[in-house]
Structure 1
Amino acid sequence: MSDRITVEELAELMKKAAGVTVAPDELQRRSDSGFDSFGLDSLGLLGIVGELENRYGTPMPPDAEKSKSPRQFLELVNSALLAGA
């Protein structure tokens, strides 16, 4: 387990925690698109945040669950994980 979340891991988490299937390459290509355009709502994003908190044993940034796009989410979560490393 690394101290960074990749696009591939985010796609996997979207499927596991929210039941939303998106190919990692599409997520990468459309990383500035809103999560809603992928079919992920705020409850699904909250599930992803919870899964990450369980995985890393540390709270995620409070704004993580309010992220609008995959890029914003990854930047926020990865900067928090790097700071905590």
Structure 2
Amino acid sequence: MTLDLSILYADTGQAKLARLADYERAALAAVPPGAEVTVTGHAPVWMYLRIAHALHGRAKRLVYESPVAGPVEVFNHAPC
């Protein structure tokens, strides 16, 4: 599944550090356990880092879709 981080703060148009816990809760609610997730969208680096941390242990695999480098695997807990 793809998680566009910009939708997490679409109501204000700008990500707010004070609302980080809200963004984490929304991301966790959007991602089913064991999902393979690609995070994308316009968002600050701190949001990408915290969302990745929040999804660790919930998602099986997390990939960051870099506009420059393409897909970058952040973690993969799939059996070998």
TM-score interval (norm. to shorter): 0.3 to 0.5
- Larger helix fraction of residues: 1
How high is the TM-score relative to the length of structure 1? 0.40
Q: How high is the TM-score relative to the length of structure 2? A: 0.42
Higher relative contact order (CA 8 A, sep 6+): 1
Larger strand percent:
2
